[in-house]
Structure 1
Amino acid sequence: MTVSHPVKREVTDYLELTGNTQAVNSVQLVARVPGYLEKVFFRDGQMVNNGQPLFQIQRNTYEASLRQAEGQVMALRSQLEYAEGQLIRYSNLLPHKAATQTDVDNWRYQRDSARANLKAAEANRDLARLNLGYTLVSAPFSGRIDRRQQDPGNLVGSETNNSVLAQLIQINPIYVYFTVSDLDLARLLKSNSLPGVAKTEKRPVFIALAQEEGYSHKGYVDFAATSLTPTTGTLLLRGVFRNPSGRILPGLYAKVRLPLERRVALLIPDTAVRSDQQGSYVLTVNGKNTVERRAVKVGHQEDSLRVIEQGLDGNEWVIVKGQLKAPSGSRVTPVREDAEPASTPSRTTAEPKVKP
């Protein structure tokens, strides 16, 4: 069998939480004007780009309304120009007593009335142009579009139940919402690293989805609620994660790992840790080459090593191979690996890979 001393090095503590994924943006595409749906420019479920045309509602009625409104503007502009000319003409005749003050006042009224009518006609023209633009429904942002709710040929926009055309969601990036308790919040605030806290930096956060090993998705915390939920005593947090492949869908359950402070800890190979009904334990070899059972409290796993929170002081010879051949109380002849007692910490230069 093989024995080795625990190693001492810096590790990162983590909060183990659960959360759910949610789209960054989600919108129901609706028909803002009534009409018959003429064309659909996408396949159900495909990715679309910002500004990409998606639906075409019949245009001819709204094109005619726009032309009618533009003609009304032209007619009223001519009336205004005529009234302004007449007002100038009669105002010039008034000093020569070739026109009366009543004539001048009448044309001033005609000019003001024509000006007001022109403004109303211009507003109607702008509204007609706006309604014509509404006949083309485009994507307000890049994302994935759901199946269409209306088929070409159907009348849309005339009632509430036929106004919704499809739903569009933005999933790159994607949000993960999770909560922390008031006790865990105190640990977070100790490191001054929540969004909205002065001098804070982006705190990394890791997630793992169902059937995934390790926390391979890395993001950062970008939002913290302004107060705790009174009924649960928890604070809502949000992480942002890149999702270029679109594999992370809204509504998924996610395991969340939130890094806390770094500290020095003892670690042994994860294979050296055993467990029974009494809890976790390791087998050690004392100075008389006798096997002893040592109860331990374990922490998270980093690479192939397991953090030992309690039960070892770093000077023990821990059996790392051949435990089945060494029951507690037996005498053995161990093979010692080249290792010194964990008296001085070794520093890691990169964030270790961690497992639950």
Structure 2
Amino acid sequence: MKTRSMSWYALSCLAILSACTAKSNDKQVSTAPKKVPVSNLVVMDTTIYKDYIADIQSVKNIELRSRLSGFLEHIYVDEGAAVKKGQVLFRLSDEEYKADYARAKANFNAALTDVKKVVLELERTKDLAAKNIVSKTEVELLKLQYTAAESKVEEARSIMQQAKTQLNFTLVRAPFDGKIDRIPLKEGSLLEQGSLLTTVSSLNEVNVYFDISENEYLSIVSDSSFNKDSFNKDVKLILADGNPYPYPGKASIVESEFEKNTGSISLRARFSNPQGMLKHGASGKISVPIQTGDTRFVHQKSVFEIQDKTYVYILNKDKTVSMKSFEAGQRVGHYYIVNGGLSDTDQIVYEGVQSLKDGMKVEVIPVKL
């Protein structure tokens, strides 16, 4: 019995000793400095893209309106259809205009007949005057009648031409190749002069307008290579869904003065549109390439956010780390531009910032970016 008691006592002591040893080892592990990779800021001269809100407009976009009053008798095309220059799109009721043209043409022919009569009478009177059968005064009177008859012919010709033009206006044709928009009226609708029929857009090319500030404008024109007569800058178009447009564009300055309320000036970029993807009135963003010069960058792995502020952990002289806020600029690839708050001498924890705390002791692993 005594031997068994001694055995239990020895085992108990061994268990307590093992537990103490484990706690001691845990304490040693927990106090060991954490190994973290540390790097400096990266200085690069690269190209960044600045985005501007853009307004997309077709190079040709016009409203087709009725030049006459009357009933819309026939619509030859459907909404959204591609049309060719000169193609008949609409026909207005033309009976009244046909009658006007026929009447004007008849008056014109009658005026021509009157001129011929006067010419014949004038020739006959000249012969009689040469034989002293009639006086020369009658010849002069007939000449005046001839002039008046000619004037009536010109007047009748003008009225006939106007009637013919109005008759032609009953057929509304496409002014150029393009696509038509929605047709707000239906066959049989009563049209007033100036009533909107549809809109026609040529979508082979589009103009994309965007505004830049006065400071940005001055940075462009102060460049030694700037030439106002040949200024063209390559730009990209970002569509409303965030995807890039597959064709490049050329931007140029199209306005001669700044907008008073905003202090901005408009630039126009022209893009080809072979697939008709871009539509008049669409929106997007223009991305303009800008050389940064020597600019400081910090890797995205080093950056974290707290309440809309950006931070990094920097290494202190005593091998501890502390949070430091900075002003993050545009993201370029895997890096953020440093607009302020960090210096070239700052050593920054490269990654693993989620497991760090202010004042934590660390073991440095240098990283060269």
Which TM-score tier does this pair reach, normalised by the shorter chain? 0.7 to 0.9
* Greater helix share, structure number: 2
Equivalent residue, structure 2, for 1:302: 332
2:245 matched to 1:189? no
What CA distance in whole angstroms lies between the structure 2 residues aligned with 1:8 and 1:321?
A: 19
2:199 matched to 1:167? yes
The alpha carbon displacement at 1:263 in A equals: 1.7
Mark the CA change 1:278 to 1:61 in structure 2 (over 3 Å): closer, same or farther: closer
Kindly indicate whether the alpha-carbon contact (under 8 Å) linking 1:44 and 1:147 is maintained by their aligned counterparts in 2: yes
| RMSD of aligned Cα (Å) | 3.7
Pairing partner for 1:132 from 149, 152, 167: 167
Q: Which moved more, 1:94-103 or 1:304-313?
A: 304-313
Measured against aligned partners, the alpha-carbon deviations of 1:90-123 in whole angstroms (never above 9, x if no partner) come to 3344233133212211221221122111111111
SS at match of 2:206: strand
What CA distance in whole angstroms lies between the structure 1 residues aligned with 2:288 and 2:274?
A: 22
Equivalent residue, structure 1, for 2:136: 101
SS at match of 2:256: coil
Measured against aligned partners, the alpha-carbon deviations of 1:128-156 in whole angstroms (never above 9, x if no partner) come to 22112111112223444232222112332
Report the residue type matching 2:257 in the other structure. S
Equivalent residue, structure 1, for 2:108: 73
What CA distance in whole angstroms lies between the structure 2 residues aligned with 1:234 and 1:290?
A: 49
The alpha carbon displacement at 1:41 in A equals: 1.6
Equivalent residue, structure 1, for 2:22: none
What CA distance in whole angstroms lies between the structure 1 residues aligned with 2:297 and 2:164?
A: 71
Equivalent residue, structure 2, for 1:122: 157
Report the residue type matching 2:295 in the other structure. A
Equivalent residue, structure 2, for 1:51: 86
Pairing partner for 2:180 from 145, 151, 169: 145
What CA distance in whole angstroms lies between the structure 2 residues aligned with 1:2 and 1:49?
A: 66
Kindly indicate whether the alpha-carbon contact (under 8 Å) linking 2:231 and 2:253 is maintained by their aligned counterparts in 1: no
Kindly indicate whether the alpha-carbon contact (under 8 Å) linking 2:247 and 2:271 is maintained by their aligned counterparts in 1: yes
Output the TM-score relative to the length of structure 2: 0.73
The alpha carbon displacement at 1:240 in A equals: 3.2
Kindly indicate whether the alpha-carbon contact (under 8 Å) linking 2:37 and 2:364 is maintained by their aligned counterparts in 1: no
The alpha carbon displacement at 1:318 in A equals: 5.1
What CA distance in whole angstroms lies between the structure 2 residues aligned with 1:140 and 1:215?
A: 29
Equivalent residue, structure 1, for 2:241: 211
What CA distance in whole angstroms lies between the structure 2 residues aligned with 1:192 and 1:252?
A: 35
Larger radius of gyration: 2
The alpha carbon displacement at 1:40 in A equals: 0.8
Kindly indicate whether the alpha-carbon contact (under 8 Å) linking 2:45 and 2:291 is maintained by their aligned counterparts in 1: no
Measured against aligned partners, the alpha-carbon deviations of 1:216-255 in whole angstroms (never above 9, x if no partner) come to 7743334443222333333344433344444444444534
Mark the CA change 1:35 to 1:215 in structure 2 (over 3 Å): closer, same or farther: closer
Kindly indicate whether the alpha-carbon contact (under 8 Å) linking 2:236 and 2:244 is maintained by their aligned counterparts in 1: no
Mark the CA change 1:52 to 1:11 in structure 2 (over 3 Å): closer, same or farther: farther
Equivalent residue, structure 2, for 1:342: none
Report the residue type matching 2:362 in the other structure. R
Mark the CA change 1:278 to 1:31 in structure 2 (over 3 Å): closer, same or farther: closer
What CA distance in whole angstroms lies between the structure 1 residues aligned with 2:104 and 2:126?
A: 33
Mark the CA change 1:192 to 1:48 in structure 2 (over 3 Å): closer, same or farther: farther
Aligned residues: 333
The alpha carbon displacement at 1:175 in A equals: 3.6
What CA distance in whole angstroms lies between the structure 1 residues aligned with 2:345 and 2:243?
A: 33
Kindly indicate whether the alpha-carbon contact (under 8 Å) linking 1:13 and 1:263 is maintained by their aligned counterparts in 2: no
Report the residue type matching 2:62 in the other structure. V
Equivalent residue, structure 2, for 1:345: none
Output the TM-score relative to the length of structure 1: 0.75
The alpha carbon displacement at 1:170 in A equals: 4.3
What CA distance in whole angstroms lies between the structure 1 residues aligned with 2:100 and 2:365?
A: 95
Measured against aligned partners, the alpha-carbon deviations of 1:66-105 in whole angstroms (never above 9, x if no partner) come to 3443333333223323322432343344233133212211
SS at match of 1:201: coil
Report the residue type matching 2:220 in the other structure. L
Mark the CA change 1:213 to 1:109 in structure 2 (over 3 Å): closer, same or farther: closer
Pairing partner for 1:270 from 282, 293, 300: 300
Mark the CA change 1:215 to 1:66 in structure 2 (over 3 Å): closer, same or farther: closer
